[in-house]
Amino acid sequence: MLETTTAVARPEINATIRQTTTQAAPDVPPVNFYSLSMEDLKSYFKSLGKETFRSQQVFKWVYEQRVTDVEKMSNLSKAFRSELPKFLSFELPPVIQHLKSVDGTQKFLFDVGKGMSVEAVLIPSADRLTLCISSEVGCNMACKFCYTGKQKLKRRLTAAEIVGQFMQVSDRLDEGQRISNIVFMGMGEPLDNCEAVFKSIEVLTNDWGMNLSRKRVTVSTSGVVPEMHRIWKAGVRLAVSLNASNDEIRDHVMPVNKRWNIEELFKACREYCRETGDKVTFEYVMLKNVTDRIEHARELHKLTRSVPCKINLIPFNEHPGSGFERPDDDQVMLFHQELMDLGSHVLLRRTMGRDIFAACGQLTDPKLRQDDKMDISNSNLGGKSVRNSSGGQPRV
């Protein structure tokens, strides 16, 4: 049985809510600042008998100025500065490994305690710098082509651990660089950890926080249909990990389809389009002799015509013991051309970070891998930009 977050908030979330809405006691540990939205922090300060405008001051110091030393927060009173460490901590998940790909992609490994870790990926392109964020240690969805799914779900991340990935990577950028886009496409199913994921979005898009545009935030789902409404209510973009052109194949490669099939999934996608006026992005992983045939392309075009969308084609990224192969480049190009000829809005997504196991479907606990790098000489598509049906360039 797949686990979802449709019913009751989990204990760690309830604990945070209690801490931010009740009078703090001397023996209560400080709350992690990065777990709190602006409204949370206002409520917390109010419960402590402090002025709520202090929340804006602290947000500005931490997110805009990147100052966490309370003694340097000069517009706070001396008395408040002396008390603040009792109320708030500013701990971030430590970076324990940082790898760089030949194509400029960077991968960061974070320690999230008790021997567990997650990975996040920084993806450069001409007009944007995208951070692919993880939401869970492992994953419940068990998609057969995904390395993360082999790890199984170990733990859902907190909002502080999700925001922390963004902050740690931001602090390591070269001068003048800024993360412009966030995609929740790393380890874990974002809609299996709704409370933390959407709290982190609230924090990072706040005017006093990192002030990211919600239109530059994308939440990907394998198809947890009952929670998909939260994506359009949050005002962010939707990506769906589709990966098959019919229920028979999708049942095989994505067990979630046995619970919410393509018909139910597409009904939710159409509702997203009606509510937002935006297109859905369908991610389609091409598996050799499984989902890469020309008849699959024709079936995919017919299937997606009912939803305003674009299709991202992703040639399978290998990992140890997957049981699948990457299609030949020629077959990928034929599949892409067939969809263009049929009139689909289709992008052949550049494969980036594949040599350091940072590409789509390759993230996992490094202990499951024997090596940090792999041979990528079996494909030349990683460095290519392939035009889409409207003449533009594919974007990460």
- The pLDDT of residue 359 is 57
* DSSP conformation class of 60: I
- The pLDDT of residue 11 is 42
In whole angstroms, give the CA distance from residue 394 to residue 396: 7
- The pLDDT of residue 396 is 32
pLDDT in tens, the chain (396 residues): 343 433 333 344 444 444 444 444 456 789 999 999 999 999 999 999 999 999 999 999 999 999 999 999 999 999 999 999 999 999 999 999 999 999 999 999 999 999 999 999 999 998 899 999 999 999 999 999 988 888 889 999 999 999 999 999 999 999 999 999 999 999 999 999 999 999 999 999 999 999 999 999 999 999 999 999 999 999 999 999 999 999 999 999 999 999 999 999 999 999 999 999 999 999 999 999 999 999 999 999 999 999 999 999 999 988 777 889 999 999 999 999 999 999 999 999 777 887 887 657 767 767 666 566 655 556 666 544 333 433 333 333
| Class of domain 11-89 as given by CATH | mainly alpha
Where in the chain are the domains? Answer: 11-89, 95-383
Active site residue 360: yes
User: Which residues make Cβ contacts (< 8 Å) with residue 175, sequence separation at least 6?
Assistant: none
Which candidate, 187, 221, 229, 181, places its Cα nearest to that of 201? 181
The yes-or-no answer to whether 11-89 and 95-383 have a common fold is no
Q: Which entry of 12, 51, 119, 139 is annotated as an active-site residue?
A: 119
To which CATH superfamily is domain 95-383 assigned? Answer: Aldolase class I (3.20.20.70)
Q: Which stretch of DSSP H or E encloses residue 241?
A: strand 237-241
Sign, Cα dihedral of 244, 246, 251, 256: positive
- Burial class of residue 206 (count of CB atoms within 10 Å of its CB; 0-12, 13-18, 19+): middle
Q: Which entry of 139, 143, 146, 360 is annotated as an active-site residue?
A: 360
Active site residue 132: no
In whole angstroms, give the CA distance from residue 244 to residue 378: 24
The answer to whether the CB of 28 falls within 8 A of the CB of 85 is no
> Directed axis angle between helix 11-21 and helix 38-47, to 10°?
50
CA distances from 122 to 5, 100, 101 (A): 28, 10, 10
In whole angstroms, give the CA distance from residue 11 to residue 225: 24
